[in-house]
Amino acid sequence: MKVAASILAAVIASASSFVVQPQNTRRDTFLSARKPFITGNWKLNPTTKKEAIELATGIANAVSDSSPGDVALFIPYPFLESVESAVDGKVTIGAEFITAEESGAFTGGVSPLMLKSMGIEWALAGHSERRTLNGESDEEINEQCLMLIENGMNVVLCIGETLEEFEKGLVDSVCAIQLKKNLAGVTPEQMKQVTIAYEPVWAIGTGKVATPEIAQDVHKVCRDIIADMYDETVADECRILYGGSVSPESVDGLMAKPDIDGTLVGGASLDDSKFGRIINFETVEE
């Protein structure tokens, strides 16, 4: 208990030193400024290659000329090539993580160069499950981002607070810490290769989706942090996705918010009709 309490105190102390004080009040940006980006994260699913191809084909069939945005799926390594050919260019296929090394004695590792040689140019970094279950640190996530970017690839950097941090009002500070640490060394020009996914950990896989209002507030804060780290143009061009229990029922309300540019979907991306509905979200007037 004592150890847990002191770890929490340290987190709070380090978070407080990062309290965000936006230097200026920025105008709202609007979705029309950025093309929507609907993405799925299959995690350790499905179990077989046959199921992966069927699911991907069903998802690709849901994408049409009238779909509002770009679509990508982040999937397990063994399925990359067969799913890539099954979706026939309608969906971008990416990896769920990478090893931040080019080659060498790293058993179990997969380097961005290997992925690139297969035509895979996207990967997630910093998903909360990798942070907690695999103990990936902010520094390691930063190395992964840099490795992808420097090899001409694109990264969806996942950030977000735990329930405890949310309840203590530390959301802005946690996002600032993660953005600053995970994007250290990334140049303004390289930010074109970066998408951010804000995923509150308490909303992932729990069925507790953040309200559009909460998500919008945090997305706006993240955009302000990016503007402070870089400039307004970089902030306005950067797509910020929301992730955490997104469903066909919640997607329209989320996508109506000006700073929510897309979604990172776990559970519902394993069902082609649910994910198809999310891909073809409807524009609702606010």
Q: Any contact of residue 212 with ligand PGA (CB under 6 A)? A: no
- CA-closest candidate to residue 160, choices 206, 123, 126, 113: 126
Residues 6+ apart with CB under 8 A from 59: 40, 71, 73, 87, 91, 269, 272, 275, 276, 279
Q: What DSSP line would sit under 150-170, residue for residue? A: HTT-EEEEEE---HHHHHTT-
CA distances from 74 to 30, 56, 238 (A): 26, 11, 19
Q: C-beta of 268: minimal distance to ligand PGA in Å? A: 6
Q: Which residue is nearest to ligand PGA (CB)?
A: 266
Q: C-beta of 206: minimal distance to ligand PGA in Å? A: 7
The residue from 195, 245, 250, 280 that contacts ligand PGA (CB under 6 A) is 245
Q: Which residue type sits at 155?
A: V
Q: Any contact of residue 204 with ligand PGA (CB under 6 A)? A: yes
CB 91 within 8 A of CB 39: no
The residue from 36, 94, 126, 243 that contacts ligand PGA (CB under 6 A) is 243
Residues 164-203 that bind ligand PGA (CB under 6 A): 199
User: Please, what is the Cα angle at 263 between 271 and 221, to 5 degrees?
Assistant: 155
Give the active site residues: 127, 199
Binding mask 41-70 for ligand PGA (x = CB under 6 A): x-----------------------------
Q: Is 212 exposed, middle or buried (0-12, 13-18, 19+ CB in 10 A)?
A: buried
Residues 6+ apart with CB under 8 A from 6: none
Q: 171-182 and 138-150 are packed helices; what angle lies between their axes, rounded to 10 degrees?
A: 50
Q: How far apart are CA 8 and CA 16, in angstroms?
A: 12
Q: C-beta of 285: minimal distance to ligand PGA in Å? A: 26
Q: C-beta of 128: minimal distance to ligand PGA in Å? A: 7
Q: Any contact of residue 266 with ligand PGA (CB under 6 A)? A: yes
Tokens of 176: 């600032």
105/133 with CB nearer ligand PGA: 133
Q: Which stretch binds ligand PGA (CB under 6 A): 84-92, 188-196, 241-249, 276-284?
A: 241-249
Q: Which stretch binds ligand PGA (CB under 6 A): 2-10, 174-182, 232-240, 265-273?
A: 265-273
Q: Any contact of residue 126 with ligand PGA (CB under 6 A)? A: no
Q: Which stretch binds ligand PGA (CB under 6 A): 96-104, 140-148, 210-218, 264-272?
A: 264-272
22/248 with CB nearer ligand PGA: 248
The residue from 36, 94, 244, 262 that contacts ligand PGA (CB under 6 A) is 244
- CA-closest candidate to residue 72, choices 34, 42, 98, 40: 40
Q: Any contact of residue 120 with ligand PGA (CB under 6 A)? A: no
Q: Please report, as ranges, the residues that interact with ligand PGA according to CB under 6 A.
A: 41, 199, 204-205, 243-246, 264-268
